[in-house]
Amino acid sequence: MAESRAADRKAARRTGRLKQAERRAGILFSLPAVILYLALLALPIIQTFYYSFTSWDGITATSVGLGNYQRLFTDSTFWRVVFNNAALLASIPFAILIPLLVAFLLNEHVPGWRFFRSVYFLPTAISWVVIGMVAVRFFAERGILNTLLAGIGFGAVRTDLLSQEYGALLAVILTFIWSVFGTNTIIFITGMATLDRDVYEAARVDGAGTWAMFRYVTIPLLMRFIQFAFVLTLITGFTALFSLIFIMTSGGPGYATTTLEFFVYQTAFSNGVFGYAAAIGMVLFVIVFAISVVQIRVLQGHGE
């Protein structure tokens, strides 16, 4: 018995040493990724937070306390820019629901589904600059939209959305929805491919129609992918539209299409007010983080 207990203790020590060695190896191999994360993400965020409390011209920084934030929240231009971002946020459900419906139809193998899957993925393979140039050509006064309207007998309904305050914002929103359509469609098609087909067969046996299966079977089972698509679309809408807006409208007319991301660029590099731009950047960071956390919890609640 004594020899058996001694052997057990020896085996336990070997197991403990092995676990410690595995833990050290895991830390060692993950260290480069951690250093890269700190260098490229964490450190710039900390620096931006610091400079948001300063009057910084790019060379010297003087502390102003909460002055930048006080100025920011009393700036009417800032609130117009927040409104623009809120409009983009309101469009995200459409950027999720439309691809979800299309992915469901494609997953049902409607006639021509292979061709349409390739066509819908096309925007994903195009850069933001090209998308912006296409959008300008489409929404211009002598663009494709007015040509199409004239072709179907609505020639009197001519519009130049990009020259109108809210028309330009609408054009940017429509272009944004189209640009993320392919990515979200592929995400949902991939998710549907992982679902158990027996569940659908059981629903059909119980008499469920196409709409009922979509609502009560597909959406609940696909909640993880919907959550991922939402967060990805949110981040894109708030932090990845600089090139699109720069090409389409340059933030105009006035500040009609200026987003917080573009406002940071204008404030820092057009006006040279880097401390104030850092404060705007921190507000943008907090907004995106807060909305992402809330939405993830809401979707997780629905998925349980």
pLDDT for 113 beyond 70: no
pLDDT for 2 beyond 60: no
Using DSSP bridges, classify how beta strands 54-56 and 61-63 pair: parallel, antiparallel or unpaired: antiparallel
- Asked whether the beta carbons of 273 and 267 are under 8 A apart, the reply is yes
Q: What is the mean pLDDT of residues 4-18?
A: 65
Question: Which strand (E) or helix (H) includes residue 61?
Answer: strand 61-63
Q: What is the residue extent of each domain of the chain?
A: 1-41, 67-303
Q: What is the pLDDT of residue 276?
A: 94
Q: Which residue has the higher pLDDT, 172 or 27?
A: 172
pLDDT for 40 beyond 90: no
Distance CA 150, CA 142 (A): 11
Q: Which residue has the higher pLDDT, 213 or 245?
A: 245
Q: What is the mean pLDDT of residues 238-264?
A: 92
Which parts of 152-273 fold into alpha helices (H)? 165-193, 197-205, 210-213, 219-221, 223-239, 242-248, 260-265
* 258 φ, ψ (degrees, to nearest 5): -75, 125
pLDDT in tens, 88-110: 999 999 999 999 988 888 887 77
Q: What is the pLDDT of residue 202?
A: 79
Q: What is the pLDDT of residue 1?
A: 56
Identity of the amino acid at 68: N
pLDDT in tens, 63-85: 999 999 999 999 999 999 999 99
pTM of the predicted model over 0.95: no
Q: State whether residue 149 is helix, strand or coil.
A: helix
* 55 φ, ψ (degrees, to nearest 5): -100, 105
Widest pairwise Cα distance in the chain: 99
pLDDT in tens, 267-298: 998 888 999 999 999 999 998 888 878 877 77
* Alpha carbon distances (Å) from 40 to 89, 248, 276: 27, 29, 22
Q: What is the pLDDT of residue 16?
A: 66
Q: What is the mean pLDDT of residues 239-264?
A: 92
The CATH number, out of the four listed (1.10.3720.10, 2.60.15.10, 3.40.50.2300, 1.10.101.10), of the domain defined by the range 67-303: 1.10.3720.10
State the pLDDT confidence band at 3, using cuts at 50, 70 and 90.
Answer: low
Q: What is the pLDDT of residue 210?
A: 73
Q: What is the mean pLDDT of the chain?
A: 84
pLDDT in tens, 12-22: 667 667 778 77
Residue 163 gets which letter from DSSP?
A: G
Q: What is the pLDDT of residue 302?
A: 55
Q: What is the pLDDT of residue 200?
A: 75
Q: What is the mean pLDDT of residues 242-268?
A: 92
- Asked whether the beta carbons of 101 and 116 are under 8 A apart, the reply is no
pLDDT in tens, 134-189: 999 999 888 888 888 888 877 677 788 888 889 999 999 999 999 899 889 989 98
